[in-house]
Amino acid sequence: MVGWVVKEEAVSIEEVREILDEASQVVVYSHRLQQKSRELEAATAELRQANERLTELDRLKDDFVSTVTHELRTPLTSIRAFTEILLEDPEVEAEQRRKFLGIITKEAERLTRLINQVLDLSKIESGKADWVATQVDMKEVISDTVAAMEQLFKEKNIEVEARLPERVSSVTVDLDRMIQVMLNLLSNAVKFCDGLNGRVEIALSERDGSLRVDVCDNGRGIGAENHEAIFSKFHQVGNTLTDKPHGSGLGLHISRQIVEHFGGRMWVESSLGSGARFSFTLPTGSQT
């Protein structure tokens, strides 16, 4: 058709219509090709992102398995070593035997805590955790957990002060999970308190429809660069080459997950040399 026009041959109305039809079809095909090209580019970008995400998840899985394996191996190594000493040398003095058995017991407890925390983490992150939400008085939760840890505070010579109001609104949470959060925060405070004059302060307050809990210690503090990192899985502040690890590095991560599940948030305020204040809020549904 186009050739006729170039040769200046006469073109009928019918032929003009055919030319226009072909041109319109070319335009339609061109638009379709452009659309398909855009769709292909979008699909390629999505596949690239998915591949990058899978690569990252694979790396995180490897890191998780490696860390868990390391954390499990540490107490198991101690348990095995001291058990072998007791088995191979029946003449171990009574005092030394008690010391070794004490270490074995503590390492076994540490191993149990780690396994329970890993299981908790797995259930929470997979969405399979059991949550039993009820009306809970956080004043009672704090009082009960402080009482449960009283002996540990005495052993570590740590002074404890709890500033609790006479009455506060209740919160809708899982009681056992909130006890777990408080025990994690108090245990964390004990670990990092000043070794000679340890002090832990707990405060409960209510404002603008939420409860706030603060747990403060007078330990070495946490640098600003680690304020978010400490809530990551298995993160432990300090130089692991010179510092003996404290705990599994899962307590704070799980605690934040629990608080956020019930609509709250958790954070830390601290600087090196000035102790640390761990805080979390929970909604009450009332305005004060």
pTM here is: 0.66
pLDDT digit string, tens, across residues 184-229: 999 889 988 887 889 999 999 999 899 999 999 999 898 888 888 8
Q: How far apart are CA 160 and CA 284, in angstroms?
A: 27
Mean pLDDT of 40-53: 86
List CB contacts of 134: < 8 A, sequence separation 6 or more.
Answer: 172, 173, 174, 175
Domain covering 133-283 in this structure, CATH number: 3.30.565.10
Predicted confidence at residue 66, as pLDDT, reads 66
Predicted confidence at residue 217, as pLDDT, reads 94
pLDDT digit string, tens, across residues 222-249: 888 888 888 887 665 543 333 444 555 6
Predicted confidence at residue 11, as pLDDT, reads 62
Backbone φ and ψ for 73, nearest 5 degrees, come out as -65, -35
How many C-beta neighbours within 10 Å does residue 275 have? 22
Residue 288 scores a pLDDT above 60: no
**Domain locations in the chain as residue ranges:** 1-129, 133-283
List CB contacts of 240: < 8 A, sequence separation 6 or more.
Answer: none
pLDDT classification of 128: cutoffs 50, 70, 90:
confident
Looking up tokens 């868990």 gives 68
**Structure letter (DSSP) for residue 230:** G
Q: How far apart are CA 122 and CA 115, in angstroms?
A: 11
Q: How far apart are CA 256 and CA 181, in angstroms?
A: 8
Mean pLDDT of 139-149: 92
pLDDT classification of 4: cutoffs 50, 70, 90:
very low
Same-fold call for 1-129 versus 133-283: no
Assigned architecture for domain 1-129: Orthogonal Bundle (1.10)
- CB of 108 closer than 8 Å to CB of 243: no
Percent of the chain predicted with pLDDT > 90: 29
